[in-house]
Structure 1
Amino acid sequence: MSIKSRLIGSSVSIALATGLVANFEGLRQYAYLDPVGIPTICYGSTSRVHLGQYKSKEECQKLLETELKIYADAVHKVVKVPMAHPREAALISFTYNVGIENFRRSTLLKKLNAGDTIGACNELPKWVYARGVKLPGLVKRREKERELCLIF
């Protein structure tokens, strides 16, 4: 696949992931503590956030775009099999939520790279806990990510 084709494909997947993340994270312009006590702002961003911080809608949108490109690059570096745009978007959203290292060490990634796509996608519903507490929002998010992941 050419670099141009990969960039166009990645752009489509990032656009899909942007809608997914924005929907599940929601926009919060003032920093807040997430369910496990991590300072968070905008669409779930946790990098260099402190309570009392404020960002405009435009700043939040730019931050989301920038961060999703980073997460997309991370997904591309470790996934060794071809992916349809919806699956790629689901994995970008998932990685944005759980972190790059958690994705790299996951059974989901091992199964995906071994060619067990269905088994990999079926790992997503296991990731619905935050510090041992099952969160309804994560249940809904993982089901949507799983649905997209299973599209061939």
Structure 2
Amino acid sequence: MMSILVTSMTSSDLDQAVSLICSFEGFRSRPYADVTGTPTVGYGSTYWHGQRVTLTSPESVNEGEAREAVAEEAQRVMTALKSSVRASLAPNQWAALTSFAYNVGLSACLDSTLVRLVNEQQLDKAADQFLLWDKSKGQVIQGLLNRRKAERALFLGNANV
């Protein structure tokens, strides 16, 4: 069983989450369809300035504003997680969970076995749950598998992001 500490948001957990998200999402200045066919721009943003991204809007974004958008969304996601997850977690664990929720969606994350196990303080078992979220339309996606391995490693304190 792992030791657990921090409950308040720190720049460390948010910065780690943003770095992990950006490293796996990759930057695209123009909208594109992601592996699920969802219009996306920047670092995996499906909304831009409150509007749903389409394949034609926004026309383009720059990397600085895209990273800012990720930071704002990651903070929103982390705040929601911290008000819903009952366990006290270390900054690296919040960062990993935030990256996961950013990618799969907050509702899916909160309804997951992963979060249930975190709340039951079964952190090693919870960490293994990351690896089950590696598919799109029933097919294993190597990029998702790589991301889940990185999130799991960060959650377990075995990664520097």
Same structural fold, with TM-score higher than 0.5 when normalized by the shorter chain = yes
2:31 match: secondary structure: strand
Q: Runs of 5+ in structure 1 lacking a partner?
A: none
When structure 1 is superposed on structure 2, of 46-55 and 27-36 the one drifting more is: 46-55
Deviation at 1:77, TM superposition (A): 1.5
8 A contact 2:22–2:67 mirrored in 1: no
Kindly indicate whether the alpha-carbon contact (under 8 Å) linking 2:22 and 2:43 is maintained by their aligned counterparts in 1.
yes
If asked which structure has higher relative contact order (CA below 8 Å, sep 6+), I would say: 2
The one-letter code sitting in structure 2 at the alignment partner of 1:150 is L
Match of 1:17 in 2: 17
Which residue, out of 101, 112, 131, partners 2:118? 112
Aligned with residue 54 of structure 2, among 26, 50, 53: 50
Q: 2:8 maps to what in 1?
A: 6
Length, aligned pairs only = 146
Q: Secondary structure at the match of 1:63?
A: helix
More helix by share: 1
1:66 partner amino acid = E
4+ long deviations beyond 6 Å: none
Correspondences of 1:78-97 after superposition (within 5 Å): 78-97=84-103
Distance apart, 1:92 and its partner CA = 0.4
TM-score w.r.t. length of structure 1? 0.91
Q: Who is 1:148 aligned against?
A: 154
Quote how far apart the aligned CAs of 1:65 are. Answer: 1.2
Indicate yes or no: 2:77 matched with 1:75. no
Cα displacement (A) at 1:151: 2.4
SS at match of 2:8: helix
TM-score in terms of structure 2 length: 0.86
Q: Cα offset for 1:143?
A: 0.4
RMSD: 1.4
User: Identity over aligned residues, as a percent?
Assistant: 33
- The gaps in structure 2 that reach 5 residues or longer are 1-6
